[in-house]
Amino acid sequence: GATLTSAECTGEISSFSGECNYQNFFDNLDADCDIALLFDGTDPEEEVPELCRYDAPVQFVEIMGTYQKDRRYFKGSGPLVDGGNYKQDSARLQRFETNMGSETLIGFPEYAARMTYNANNGLATEDEPNGYPANMNLFASCQLNTVMCCFTDDSNGEGFASNGDATTDVCRHNLADSPQSNHIKYGWSVFPGTETPTHCTGFTWKDGEDELLGNMMYDISYRTTINKGYLKGVPGAPMCGCVEHMPTVEAAECRTATKKGEIEFTFSYEEGIVSASNTATINYQDCAVADLKKQYVANNAGDADKIAAIDDHLAGDGGCANEDHLSEEELHVKSVSTRYPSIDATVWSDLVVGEGIYFQPRGIDEAAADAAFRDLINAGCKEADGADRHCIIRRVCASCTSEPHRDIYYQRLTDLPPSGTNTTEVYLINTFMNSWSKTPANDMAAGDFALYSTYQDALDGTNAWTWCDYGTEGVYGFPRNCGVTTYMHNQWNSYVRNGAYADHHGFYVELP
């Protein structure tokens, strides 16, 4: 704890409006306080930002009181959703809405109980730790900047129609997109014909416009429940989450939050502890474009690839009638499956390494296996003009849920890093198996390689993938979350851990 610098350095010690940061805290610090003593033994330039993130806003967990209540609510269960006495179970939420719902900055859901789990499962990094809950990790699986809640029970209020809230057709849900909610690794829920009336509501934001995300989350979830009585989600899906984890629906309303004036931040010192709080005037309203998909499109005007990405989640009017997705998952026999591409033995090597139906263990001697792999890559493939190039590496994956990830082509563009275990060396075969990292010399943005969805694109150098990231060394294999234009989760393979969909995959190398 800190040591008082004088009898006057107690109670409110710094108050300001605008952005909560160290400089504003320091510029408005009471003259009777010594900042070094307030944060005795710690760095105030690190401590104040932490207070701004985790103490100044009302933390989401404070609304209902426990992480478990929030966790179960978001997945569509728990006392508030399934309890026998709604009025009693919602009393705490009603008090918060009445007294603070529109008068404070609320933090986006984060929980101390998730910090270690997220760090150990590639959902956070050492430099960027987080405690985001399942299905709404802003760091790892919310790349479309869009969050949605879907409700199927309006019996605790006046009802969807009386509130003027449109219902939507629910198309389908890939159960593999939300295993932490449904506890199912693979499978689909498909909803043809007429189903229970469902109302979906959400919010979307541009990069950098994230100050009020917690308030928006509160608005579409707990605030909607307490003011309208909406509960229960689509079977097999979370009740609330980033759209990447939610069921595909035709439409959702769009909500937003704005502040009137600036947010006031107050720091206090009592009994050796510095704490922070805020006061604000928050307005909740429909978006400028009241339809979530249309607002998303407006936010991403000019980015055709990003606009197209929302179609998998918000299908648009009549979109559920499109059964192409059923063909893709082989639930309808309407087209040829892309899961099992043929491997032409005159173009591709024998299987190098693989799992599941492509089972082929790597050689016991890692150095020898790596040398054989490199020999294939350096076997003398040629460009169309006769120039030398590396031979293309191909991964096929029958169990991958994303079509572009069922057949990926890796074209090496720079020299291979040397083989070995020093910091500038690597066993390249293990890079693909278990350690998809950008060092040494495996950085797409730096021009070390390119990824393609077809062999012809790889030969022509056209339609290369544009988004790539890398995993914790020794844990996540090829291609981590790399995608055609944006993040695509759980299509990576690994020979040392479970958790993704690439259980049936194999690697081949182009023949010269």
The long-range contacts involving 3-6, CB below 8 angstroms and separated by at least 24 positions, are 3/37, 3/40, 3/272, 4/37, 4/269, 5/32, 5/33, 5/34, 5/37, 5/38, 6/32, 6/33
Please give the Cα distance from 73 to 61 (Å, whole number): 12
| Average pLDDT for 390-409 | 94
Helix (H, G, I), strand (E, B) or coil at 409: strand
Of the two residues 451 and 34, the one the predictor is more confident about is 451
Cα-based distances in Å from 411 to 111, 441, 457? 41, 14, 10
Please give the Cα distance from 248 to 96 (Å, whole number): 32
Asked whether the beta carbons of 134 and 181 are under 8 A apart, the reply is yes
Please give the Cα distance from 37 to 29 (Å, whole number): 13
Asked whether the beta carbons of 369 and 358 are under 8 A apart, the reply is no
Please report, rounded to a whole number, the percentage of residues in the chain having pLDDT higher than 90. 72
Strands 253-259 and 199-204: parallel
Residue showing tokens 């492509």: 358
Tell me which residue of 276, 256, 258 sits closest to 266, measured CA to CA. Answer: 276
pLDDT per position as a tens digit, 430-446: 999 999 999 899 999 99
Tell me which residue of 418, 410, 367, 413 sits closest to 392, measured CA to CA. Answer: 410
Res 107 pLDDT > 60: yes
Q: What is the mean pLDDT of the chain?
A: 91
Token pair, residue 379, equals 């076997």
Give me the pLDDT at residue 91, please.
Answer: 95
Where does the pLDDT of residue 336 fall: very low under 50, low under 70, confident under 90, or very high at 90 and above?
A: low
Tell me which residue of 210, 231, 212 sits closest to 221, measured CA to CA. Answer: 231
Q: Which residues contact 501 (CB under 8 A, 6 or more apart)?
A: 176, 186, 397, 399, 400, 401, 490, 491
In the 8-state DSSP scheme, what is residue 176?
G
Tell me which residue of 189, 201, 105 sits closest to 147, measured CA to CA. Answer: 201
H helices of 106-212, where? 112-120, 179-182
Give me the pLDDT at residue 333, please.
Answer: 46
Tell me which residue of 282, 163, 263 sits closest to 218, measured CA to CA. Answer: 282
Give me the pLDDT at residue 190, please.
Answer: 86
Please give the Cα distance from 276 to 286 (Å, whole number): 31
pLDDT per position as a tens digit, 383-393: 999 999 999 99
Positive or negative torsion for Cα 284, 289, 292, 298: negative
Helix axes 67-75, 112-120, angle to 10 degrees: 60
Amino acid (1-letter code) at residue 203: F
Res 306 pLDDT > 90: no
Amino acid (1-letter code) at residue 278: N
Cα angle for residues 302, 307, 310 (degrees, 5° grid): 165
H helices of 165-291, where? 179-182, 213-218, 224-228
Give me the pLDDT at residue 5, please.
Answer: 47
Cα-based distances in Å from 225 to 111, 231, 482? 22, 6, 37
| Average pLDDT for 98-102 | 96
Alpha-carbon torsion, ordered 358, 363, 364, 366, to 10 deg: -120
Please state which of the ranges 181-190, 203-212, 272-281 shows the lowest mean pLDDT.
181-190
Amino acid (1-letter code) at residue 23: Q
pLDDT per position as a tens digit, 138-177: 998 899 999 999 999 999 999 999 999 999 999 999 898 9
The residues with which 170 forms a beta bridge, in sequence order, are: 249
Where does the pLDDT of residue 449 fall: very low under 50, low under 70, confident under 90, or very high at 90 and above?
A: very high
Measured between its terminal Cα atoms, the distance across the chain in Å is 68
Please report, rounded to a whole number, the percentage of residues in the chain having pLDDT higher than 70. 95
Amino acid (1-letter code) at residue 377: I
Res 200 pLDDT > 50: yes
pLDDT per position as a tens digit, 223-268: 999 999 999 999 999 999 999 999 999 999 999 999 999 999 999 9
Residue showing tokens 């529109």: 102
The long-range contacts involving 157-160, CB below 8 angstroms and separated by at least 24 positions, are 157/227, 157/228, 157/229, 157/230, 158/228, 158/229, 160/197, 160/199, 160/230
Give me the pLDDT at residue 497, please.
Answer: 82
